[in-house]
Amino acid sequence: MAMTCDRVREFASGFVLGALDIDEMIAVSDHLDTCSEEHPEIGDLGGVVPYLAETLEPLEPPAWLRESVMAAAQADLAARRHISVEPVAIPTAARSSQAALTWQGPSPVSQGEVIPFAARASRRRRAMTWATRVAAAVAVVVLAGYAVVLQGDLSKSKHDQDTYASLIYAAAQPDTRLAALASRDGSKASGLVALLPTGHIIVNVTNLVPTQGDEAYVVWLTGDNGVQSKVGSFTVSDSGDGYLEVDNVPTSASLYLWVCKEPNSAVSASSGPTIVGGTISL
Amino acid sequence: MRQVAAGEIGGLETLYDRYHAMAYALALRITTETGLAEDVVQDSFLGLWRNAGRYAEAKGSVRGWLLAIVRHRAIDAMRRQRAGVALGDESEEILPAALTLPDIWPEVVGRLDAEQVRRALTVLPPAQREVIELAYFDGLTQREISDRTRAPLGTVKSRMRLGLVAMREQLVGQNDGSFGIALPSSNGKKGLA
């Protein structure tokens, strides 16, 4: 679309409100990037926009939201530090978990396969290089702090460290998308999801009510096209922790992931109460 | 904001405590669903946390930046929920540009209280107010507003422009004959860099 200074002035109000068609938005933006003339109308009208929100009465969100935001930021910070940290001496607490030190990252799995925890642990005991040991050790140091933030309980250290090592490893991969899962039913359940660019996804949820009988927690995804996909399911023991690791999930620019408690794992559409949910953005 | 950019959680806590109620009000107004609004607020503060290094103070206030993120993500979430409405990658590229629009008169508007700001919108003629609200809170394009209100597209554009100009005049209280404001010059081109 050919854009002139006069047309930019004509489109200015729609542009600052993001109310133009996409080709018009692009054309105006491109023109502003290259035009030698000033376009004060953009700033003049655009300055109004932030104040439109002021017409609303402030509303208090649930108190747990603050804790959830800070926990997610802590997890993000831990992942970032893991990426940049130099190898360091391993504290005693971290050395104690040899199983976690043998971890090598996500292994190839078949499409839609849900990997039981025991199988994951088995795969992680394969032969490894010294470099991988050091990297994994650093991850353990990081996840120890992460575990404190999320659970405040290191008594389940072996299981937790293995779980968090998976998440931290995934978070350290280029272009991995992380999202926090917040409670949707008023419970204390919360979690973290890591989606690798390969379509490998890791979901970890804590403070869940244990499943009984055929009950299962089912993980669902909705993409940009609004289509729901079943990611997989997991059961929960008295620990209250749930974990799922699956390959080849459908991805898009933005995804909404939620976990429902269902009567059984064979359900084809979500029917039970939503326990946690979160948006995975680029 | 510098604390947040440096990875200090305390900085994020300060920003959250200062702006969470406004962010939640905006998210809930757009999504009309508490669960989704909570999601949007969390996602927005995390977005601010992760991208704080890209924030340029000269281009606007933290509040304006955060609310722009909240609005963008809330509208994004609503569009995603509507079956059959796909979000193109283009929107990811274009909307962030609007996030950096300069908040050019914080000192001028800073002396106003929230009630005065609210009044600036409420005194607009209903037709002008409607198109601005449909664009800002519902994320509709001018063409979509035209379809919904059954008003010609040119009329929608005109109402939107007149409404923004009038609101600006209400906020600043003077008219210099152009866009109604005698304020420090703001260069849209540079502001969008």
| Residue in A closest to B104 by C-alpha | A47
pTM of the complete model = 0.54
* Cβ-defined contact of A70 to B9 (cutoff 8 Å): yes
- Axis crossing angle, helix B114-122 with helix B126-136, rounded to the nearest 10: 120
Domains of chain B listed by start with CATH number: 1-102 (1.10.1740.10), 104-193 (1.10.10.10)
Pair A179, A79: CB distance under 8 Å: no
Pair B113, A44: CB distance under 8 Å: no
* Cβ-defined contact of B189 to A14 (cutoff 8 Å): no
Range 37-76 of B in CB contact (< 8 A) with A = 37-43, 45-47, 49-50, 60-61, 63-64, 67-68, 70-73, 76
Sequence-ordered list of residues with C-beta below 8 angstroms from that of A96, at least 6 positions apart, any chain: A157
CA–CA separation, A134 vs A142, rounded Å? Answer: 12
| Residue in B closest to A12 by C-alpha | B161
CB atoms within 10 A of CB B173: 13
Q: Print pLDDT tens along chain A (282 aa).
A: 678 899 999 999 999 898 998 888 888 888 988 888 888 888 888 878 878 888 888 999 998 888 888 888 887 777 666 554 433 333 333 333 332 322 333 333 333 333 333 333 333 333 333 333 434 444 444 444 444 444 444 445 556 666 666 777 777 666 788 888 888 888 888 888 888 888 889 898 988 999 999 999 999 888 766 677 889 999 998 888 898 988 888 777 778 888 999 999 888 888 888 898 888 876
* Cβ-defined contact of A58 to B25 (cutoff 8 Å): yes
